[in-house]
Amino acid sequence: MLVARNPVSNLHHIQGLVMKNRHTGALQGTLIAQLCVISMWTVRICVMMQYFTSMFTPSKAKTKKELPRIPEGRRVYAVGDVHGRSDLFISLIEAIEADVHAAEAEGLKCEVVLLGDLVDRGPDSANVIELARKWKKMREVHILCGNHEEMFLNSFEDKDILRHFLRHGGRETLISYGMERKVFTKASLSEIQEMLEDVVPKKHRKFIGEFEDMVQLGDYLFVHAGIEPGVPLEEQKQRSLRWIREPFLSHEKSHGLVVVHGHTITDEVVDAGNRIGIDTGAYSSGRLTALVLEGKKRRYLVAAEGKKGKVTVEGAKLKA
């Protein structure tokens, strides 16, 4: 009678049967039965081996995703849309410079990226441009061109764009450059365009005309508005970089780089994983935000207007 044995014992048993029943017709059935028993044991052993292997083999799905980073030894400050709020801008510059001074003492190289829309809506665009111009002379500052800078520059030549510019905060910009309110109110569109040449310094027009469209530092891409999802960086259209909202804002998949942008106002910073939006509506909310990046770390500096117009900077003393 056949019994279940381990594979090795069954092999010896079969060899004995072969020698004993070499010339009998029953050998074929006996061999088949014994081979079935061996197969059952083999399957059981394989299943057990797979079980124990899975217990002690780390799962690839649980591997921690590598965080985006800025190159070693560097720190980046990205500043959201200023929109003519020179008071907030001055306070943030002072806080960043104090932070930079401490960082440079530790051997770090620091850079600043202004995300565009320095002008319009707020009361002091002319001074914001002058501050940015002077800051760039003393610090490595990248300045991106926003849709409002685009409208501002094109208004010198195109009356239709000038009309659009004035409806979206351009009036405040021209008054900040010294155009009298009464004169502005009574002037025709053609007269306003002529006065633009007189009140806006040529050095400011030249300076704004040199603003960049995008800056890549490490695993981060800095743009004003966003990018067109799925389109290579070298094929991105200038209009998308300065004006886009959708489908960029709702896109959930990776862009390859983490996109840091302004343009779209939110109450708080929006970190969506594939993008970080830092336009906190300075001209209306009284809060101008800067994102600070160093290695894999992130933190924020916020220049906020408090009671009686006093501006304080939150996060200035936090360590990176």
155-165: pLDDT as tens digits: 999 999 999 99
Give the per-residue pLDDT at 246.
98
* Number of residues that make up the chain: 320
pLDDT band at residue 124 using 50, 70 and 90 as cut-offs:
very high
Using the predicted structure, report yes or no on whether residue 8 has a pLDDT greater than 80: no
Using the predicted structure, report yes or no on whether residue 21 has a pLDDT greater than 60: no
Kindly report, residue by residue over 90-121, the tens digit of the pLDDT.
999 999 999 999 999 999 999 999 999 999 99
pLDDT band at residue 23 using 50, 70 and 90 as cut-offs:
very low
Give the per-residue pLDDT at 66.
84
More confident residue, 224 or 59: 224
Give the per-residue pLDDT at 320.
37
CA 279 vs. chain centroid, Å, equals 13
Kindly report, residue by residue over 165-190, the tens digit of the pLDDT.
999 999 999 999 999 999 999 999 99
Q: How far apart are CA 178 and CA 200, in angstroms?
A: 9
Give the per-residue pLDDT at 198.
96
pLDDT-wise least confident of 27-36, 138-147, 241-250, 284-293: 27-36
pLDDT-wise least confident of 41-55, 74-88, 89-103, 196-210: 41-55
Give the per-residue pLDDT at 178.
97
More confident residue, 146 or 5: 146
Using the predicted structure, report yes or no on whether residue 55 has a pLDDT greater than 50: no
Nearest to 190 by CA among 155, 225, 165, 215: 155
N- to C-terminal Cα separation, the chain: 78
Give the per-residue pLDDT at 79.
98
Give the per-residue pLDDT at 231.
98
Q: Are strands 297-305 and 275-277 parallel, antiparallel or unpaired?
A: unpaired
Kindly report, residue by residue over 217-236, the tens digit of the pLDDT.
999 999 999 999 999 999 99
What percent of the chain is modeled with pLDDT above 90? 77
Q: How far apart are CA 59 and CA 263, in angstroms?
A: 41
Give the per-residue pLDDT at 30.
52
Give the per-residue pLDDT at 65.
72
- Could you tell me which residues come within 8 angstroms of residue 261 by beta carbon, excluding any fewer than 6 positions away? 115, 222, 223, 224, 225, 226, 275, 276, 277, 278, 279
